[in-house]
Amino acid sequence: MNLINKFLEESKKDKLDSDKTIAIDLDGVIHSYDKGWQDGSIYGIPISGTEEALKRLKSRFKRIIIFTCRTRKDQPLIHGKSQIDLIWEWLKKYELDKYISQITSEKPMASFYIDDHGIKFNSWQQTLRDIK
């Protein structure tokens, strides 16, 4: 298989995979984040309706990925644990881990992104009005 065909096959697979994936921000969407950042600990509770929403999304999507800046490589360890470890512990505490496939700081290929600070882009004119 030549390089171009390989690229096209991989792109097709990525597209198919992204159609089965939804990416969700952690803080302010799943985790209440009512005290802000503090020391990096995850102290809040799940936002009301989170488990039911994750259950419904899991029935439609193959993968639910949490994307969060908490897991950037420059984040310090908290009590000797990485942010990914802390997030998994928090998810397990509230029995939400069974819905989640992955946690990352990278924006994954996905059909949809759910984020509390997102602005839907339609045009630059509308986007600038939305920001204003």
Supply the pTM of this predicted model.
0.78
pLDDT of residue 65: 97
Helices within 1-132 (DSSP H only)? 3-18, 50-60, 83-93, 124-131
Cα–Cα dist 32/45, whole Å: 6
Domains and CATH numbers, the chain: 17-131 (3.40.50.1000)
Cα gap 83→2, rounded to integer Å: 41
The whole-angstrom separation of Cα 11 and Cα 58 is 24
In this predicted structure, what is the pLDDT of residue 70?
81
pLDDT tens digit sequence for 56-70: 999 999 999 999 988
Categorize the per-residue pLDDT at 7 as very low, low, confident or very high, splitting at 50, 70 and 90: low
Average pLDDT over residues 66-84: 80
Considering only residues 9 and 108, tell me which one the structure prediction assigns the higher pLDDT. 108
Q: Which pLDDT score, from 0 to 100, does residue 46 have?
A: 96
